[in-house]
Amino acid sequence: MRDFVSEWRQEGRLFVWRYPGFRQAWRGWHFTADPVGCRSVRNLLDRMFGGEACHRTLRIEPVTEAVLRVPNFGDKAAGVFTKLRIDYDPAFQDLRIVPDGEALTMTIGDRRLRKLAAAFAQMEAGGGDFGIATSDNNKADPWMFWWMPDIE
């Protein structure tokens, strides 16, 4: 039987960051990607959905000043992240990212996977400045999605 998740290859550019400080608008994780990157992440999530537990590691681009200027919350990101491991556990109920040095580990299950895929679809179409809930806990930090700046 083919392992479609293992056959997946990343394309495009993906940026993931958070801001230093504890201001309300700054909390949580922030994402942007070029249209090819959005489509690539959605393709991976589609391959994972409804399957067995698995993971893939994605490359994260260095966050630039142009990317940080889109939400305009500050001119620096907290931490430098180069890899994002997506751990898919079908039964996992929330969205979670845990930093470990320059690597991030995202855990996701069927319950929230479609919401995350829809966020990348909206960004691919040029949307931004919106968030998704990561948990049923109203105090959980949302994940924010931003349009891609015109950068080279």
All structural domains of the chain, each given as residue ranges with its CATH number in brackets, are: 4-144 (3.30.1360)
pLDDT digits (tens, 9 = 90+) for 26-37: 788 999 999 999
pLDDT of residue 79: 85
Q: Does residue 24 surpass a pLDDT of 70?
A: no
For residue 17, what is the enclosing H or E element? strand 14-17
Contact 101, 19 (CB under 8 A): no
Percent of the chain residues past pLDDT 70, beyond the cut: 95
pLDDT > 90? residue 56: yes
**Which tens digit of pLDDT belongs to each residue from 61-98?**
999 999 999 988 877 888 899 999 999 999 999 999 99
- As a dihedral over the C-alpha atoms of residue 19, residue 24, residue 30, residue 35, rounded to 10 degrees, the angle is -130
